[in-house]
Each structure stands twice: as C-alpha cells, then as structure tokens.
Amino acid sequence: MTMEAGSVTETLEDKQTSGTGDASKDGANKQPNPNQNPKDAKPAPERKRARNLSEDRRFKLFSGTANRPLSEEIGRHIGVPVGEVKLQRFADGEVYFQLLENVRGVDVFVVQPTCYPVDQNLMELLVMIDALKRASAARITAVVPYYGYARQDRKDRPRVAISAKLIADLLTTAGAHRALFVDLHAAQIQGFFNIPVDHMFASPVLVSHFRSLALPNLTVVSPDAGGVERARHFAQKMGAPLAIVDKRRTDINVAEVMNVVGDVAGKTALIIDDIIDTAGTLVKTVDALYANGAAAVYACASHAVLSGPAVERIANSRIEQVVVTNTIPLREAAQKLPKIKVLSIAGLLGAAIESIHMETSVSTLFS
C-alpha cells in the first residue's frame, strides 16, 4: 500500500503500541502506589528479543534503492521481509522518503551501499536515517556494504578534503547509532566515527570459493603496498606464499606498475584487492605478472565498481577470472561477461545483523 504525502493513518501496530498496548505490559502507564516502600517496588519487566527474528517485533529491516536485491536476500537469510516504504524523487532529483510501517522503539537496520550514483545514493541513505530517527526508532544501524569516498581518507596532497571523515560525520549527524561496513578501503576509517562500527570482511566467502577451485602452485598477490595486510591475511587462509606489485600512481585512476616483489614464475597468481574501479591497475598488474613468468592469473575483489572502460579492459585482458561480491549491483555489461563471477555476501551480512541485534559477538563469524 502506498500513502500519499500528508495523509494520516493509524495501523493495527500503532494501536498496539499506544494506550493499552505494549506500554501497559511494561508498566509504563501504572501510577505509583504511595503506600508502597520504594525498596519493595519491582522494576518493570525488560522487553526481551525473540530468538527468531521473524517473530521479533522489535526488529525491522529497510532498504534503499541502491541494491534492493541484496537487501531482499539478507531478509530471506534472517527470515524477515524488507519493510514497506515510499521512496520517490521530485522532477529535479530531490529525494522523498516516507516510512509505511511503525518503527517506534524498534531496532532498525537500513541497507544502502553508496555506489554509483554515489551522491544520490548517499543522500538517500541520510534521508532514510533522518526519517527513522524522527519516527522514534530505538536504534538505527546503517548497513553500508560499500562505503563511497573511502579512498579519500587522508591528505595525500596539499589542500584536499578528507571526504571519508565528512561522510562519517554526515551519517552520525543524520541519526545513525551504529554502522556496519564491508571491507573498508582503509581500516582506520573506523576511527572517523564516534559511534560503534562493525567492520566485516568478504574474505570468508572468497576464500571458500578459491579453495573449491584448488588452483595449483598458488601465490597470492597484492596489487600495491597499501593492500599488503589484506593479501597477507588471504594468503594465510589459503596456505599460499605472498607477492607484491610495486605500483606508482601518477594521477587519479591512472597507475603505472613498476615491478613484482616475490616469485611468481610458473605459479598461479591470485590478485587480491578491495575495489576494482576502472580496472586500470588490475590489467597492468596482470601484464606485470605474466611478464614475470606467471602461468595463470586470477583476481578477486569485494567491491565491483567497474566504472568507465573497466568491463572492456577485463574482457580484453589475459586474466582467467575476476571474482567479486554483490556489495554493488553489477552493470548489465559486466553481468554478460563470463570472466566475471559474483559471490553473495547476503548470508554473512545477515549473520552479522542478527549478532548485532542479539548483542552477541560479530568477530566469531571470522574465527
């Protein structure tokens, strides 16, 4: 059902949470007994979360338009449908958002990657969080599978913005109480937030896939010095040696590969990265590895941004396969390219969301 702006309705759930609904069960409407000793007074019973999220009225999942299929898949994993909303845009592109469900006192999770179009999807997320805050949600968790502006996390040149910090401030100001991210470009971005942050990794899904392939003489490769820690962790999980490609970036989205540090001759090289954007770095890394004697080259990344000529570059390269996750919906051209394989992280995100709601350890998902 879609509600027109300005209309006022009262749902069954609204009635249950007002008057003699949940408030009366918790003793919120009871008048104190003047003859009762305060020491003998019993505290109001605490609302307990249901063990099954599908039965928990204090939990709801909402989605923006950036990656609705991922949100729905997460909902299927945890047994909860995506909440009903009205999300439209005015003729000039201004976003209009309205909740069509009661969220008063509810633990809410809103899923929205800030992928292309980045600014539009970011603004949509901020408006959704603001609406949830004003609707009296008890806690709002921003689930951002892909964190846009993460590459601008420091002043690497004079007079540039630290945009990753700005986005953190915007999410907090909008009303998010905590955040859940997948493979941040730099782990220290967590420190930009003054709210709790859970940092997930897609590596369990990716490692499982490449273990099933049983690639011979495997060597894990970091495409630059900044990704060494990520590649080292992956290499440990795969029981494989590590190599590093020395890369010199000459401009935005322009990179020049210099040389390979490590032995890749006769080996199957697996490039590990967090983001594939224009694929310029990727194809130059592939060429450098083959030039150093690699027998075959594969690649994997958490976020398939794949902007500009990325798909064409991958199609024309000598790479065997590029494995990515569905944090970002693939463009149609990428979906048609056999070299690109997509793995789902919906189960991993669903488990993390359930752990956050139940207040259990998220880190156990990676142990």
Q: What pLDDT does residue 223 have?
A: 92
Q: Which of the residue ranges 44-53, 210-219, 256-265, 339-348 would you say has the lowest mean pLDDT?
A: 44-53
Q: What pLDDT does residue 301 have?
A: 97
The token pair at 176 is: 């998010």
Q: Which of 25, 86, 247, 267 is catalytic?
A: 247
Q: What pLDDT does residue 55 have?
A: 75
Q: What is the average pLDDT across 41-66?
A: 72
**Of residues 167 and 22, more confidently modeled:** 167
Q: Which residues contact 282 (CB under 8 A, 6 or more apart)?
A: 223, 271, 273, 276, 299, 313, 314, 317, 319, 322
Q: Which residues contact 191 (CB under 8 A, 6 or more apart)?
A: none
- What value does the CA radius of gyration of the chain take, rounded to a whole number of Å? 24
- DSSP H stretches of helix in the chain: 12-16, 22-25, 68-78, 118-134, 163-174, 203-213, 228-238, 280-291, 310-316, 332-335, 346-358
Task: Share the mean pLDDT of the chain.
Answer: 87
Q: What pLDDT does residue 14 have?
A: 43
Q: Is the peptide bond before 117 cis (omega within 30 degrees of 0)?
A: yes
Active site residue 247: yes
Q: What pLDDT does residue 250 have?
A: 61
Residue 152 has pLDDT above 90, yes or no: yes
Residue 25 has pLDDT above 80, yes or no: no
Quick: pLDDT tens for 224-276. Answer: 888 899 999 999 999 999 999 987 666 665 656 568 999 999 999 999 999 99
Q: What is the average pLDDT across 46-53?
A: 58
Say how far apart CA 175 and CA 135 lie, in whole Å. 11
Token pair 């969301």: residue: 353
Q: What is the average pLDDT across 73-100?
A: 96
Quick: pLDDT tens for 327-354. Answer: 999 999 999 999 999 999 999 999 999 9
Q: What pLDDT does residue 177 have?
A: 98
CB 255 within 8 A of CB 247: yes
